[in-house]
Amino acid sequence: MAESDNIVITSPSDKNFIDPASPHLIKLYGNNFAIGGSLSDLYLIGLLNGQPSFVVNMSYTAAKILQQNINSYLEKFESSGIRIPTVEEIRDASSKNKNK
């Protein structure tokens, strides 16, 4: 897949829009992730409240495409003025509030 073939969908007006609410798509949710792999593949384990919930297997090339697409999407989102804090930043802020 060429880099130009990557699909980053942001709205229904995009020509390649895929409706995430489609009943034909499997819905997965995780609020944390673990990552591992072998010499040829990577696996992403979705965690829900600390418990394994699903696994996605992919090639390293597909993982790199996923990384690029996520980075691109988050950069566009944050360029709107909304900054997404990291878990470490949330943890630090929470511990500072507890120490007050």
3-state secondary structure the chain: CCHHHCCCCCCCCCCCCCCCCCCCCCCCCCCEEEEEECCCEEEEEEEECCEEEEEEEEEHHHHHHHHHHHHHHHHHHHCCCCCCCCHHHHHHHHHHHHCC
Asked if residue 85 has pLDDT above 50, the reply is yes
User: What is the pTM for the complete model shown?
Assistant: 0.70
Rounded Cα distance between 22 and 45, Å, is 23
Mean predicted confidence (pLDDT) in 71-86? 91
- Whole-number pLDDT of residue 55: 96
5-41 pLDDT tens trace: 566 666 777 777 888 888 999 999 999 999 999 999 9
Q: How many residues does the chain have?
A: 100
Task: Give the pLDDT of residue 3.
Answer: 47
Residue 65 has pLDDT above 50, yes or no: yes
Contact (Cβ atoms closer than 8 angstroms) between residue 42 and residue 63: yes
More confidently predicted of 14 and 76 = 76
Mean pLDDT (the chain, rounded) = 87
